[in-house]
């Protein structure tokens, strides 16, 4: 079984996410949020009334 670590630090409107894989960050409000993962992927999330959530990821991991 693997181990996981995640710590989130809020700095104003930004959130810095620390994990085992590196440092990511996100910015946004309750309705829309843009996140960047440690490997460079960007994820946009849109929350709609009624509990619906739409998300799109841009830029996959590069494999050499």
Provide the token pair at 35: 């996140």
- Would you give per-residue pLDDT tens digits along the chain (64 residues)? 677 888 999 988 899 999 888 999 999 988 999 999 988 899 999 999 999 999 999 986 665 5
- The candidate with the shortest Cα–Cα distance to 4, out of 22, 25, 19, 23, is 19
Is 62 domain-assigned? no
How many domains does the chain fold into?
1
Structure confidence at residue 32 (pLDDT): 94
Decide if 17 contacts 10 (C-beta within 8 A).
no
Is 63 domain-assigned? no
Structure confidence at residue 1 (pLDDT): 63
Structure confidence at residue 62 (pLDDT): 60
Count of CB atoms situated within 10 Å of the CB of 41 = 14
Structure confidence at residue 18 (pLDDT): 92
> What is the H or E stretch that residue 57 is in?
strand 52-58
Is 39 domain-assigned? no
Domain interval for residue 19:
1-27
């Amino acid at each position: 079984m693997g181990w996981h670590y995640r710590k989130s630090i809020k700095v104003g409107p930004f959130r810095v996410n620390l994990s085992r894989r590196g440092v990511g960050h996100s910015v946004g409000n309750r309705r829309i949020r843009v996140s960047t993962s440690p490997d460079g992927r960007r994820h946009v999330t849109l929350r709609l009334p009624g509990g619906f959530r739409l998300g799109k990821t841009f830029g996959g991991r590069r494999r050499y």
